[in-house]
Amino acid sequence: MTALIARPITPESFAPFGRVYDLSGAASPDVKVMAGEGWADSFTLRPLIDGSGHLGMTQGPAAPWSCRQMERHPLTEEALFCATAPIVLAVAAASDAPAPAATTLAAFILRPGMVAVMKRGVWHDACRGLNGPAPYYWMALCGLGNDPWVPVAGGPVEVRA
């Protein structure tokens, strides 16, 4: 079984799959930060996803795991963000193929304050907690059709943090 080591997410490393926001850092061209006495408020300067998304929450088990299946959403972007603890996201390149290719998988670590917005059609597995089971939030348009989970072609792939 092929092994894949997750790396910290950055806008540059995640660019083939989507975009990244850091709401825990300083202001940037994509994020505005306002502060007062003992508080800071950060937000994205553009809407998080295209369209009026639905907010969801998933409880993920702990990494490492064997990535055997993935899903994709050709009709919506999907944003993922931590609730209280870091998570690991496994993705594969968007394609017209009927299944994600094991050779295109990448894995990223998101820490609280980081947001990953996947492009339409990017294959992904459910996230796992970096240091144990962890909840995380997602935002996407729902009810657009069936997005089946399919086996990873050439897989499975062992995802480690």
Do 44 and 31 form a contact (C-beta atoms < 8 A)?
yes
Q: How confident is the model at residue 27, as a pLDDT?
A: 84
Query: 87: which strand partners?
Result: 110, 129
Is the pLDDT assigned to residue 80 strictly greater than 90?
yes
Per-residue pLDDT of 26-59, as tens digits, reads: 888 899 999 999 999 999 999 999 989 999 999 9
Do 7 and 108 form a contact (C-beta atoms < 8 A)?
yes
CATH class, 2-160 region: mainly beta
Domain ranges of the chain: 2-160
Pure H helices in 15-121: none
**51 φ, ψ to 5°?**
95, 175
- Secondary structure of 95-115 in the HEC alphabet? CCCCCCEHHHCEEEEECCCEE
> Residue 45: CB partners within 8 Å, gap ≥ 6?
29, 30, 31, 32
Task: Note the pTM of the prediction, 2 decimals.
Answer: 0.94
Distance CA 106, CA 159 (A): 9
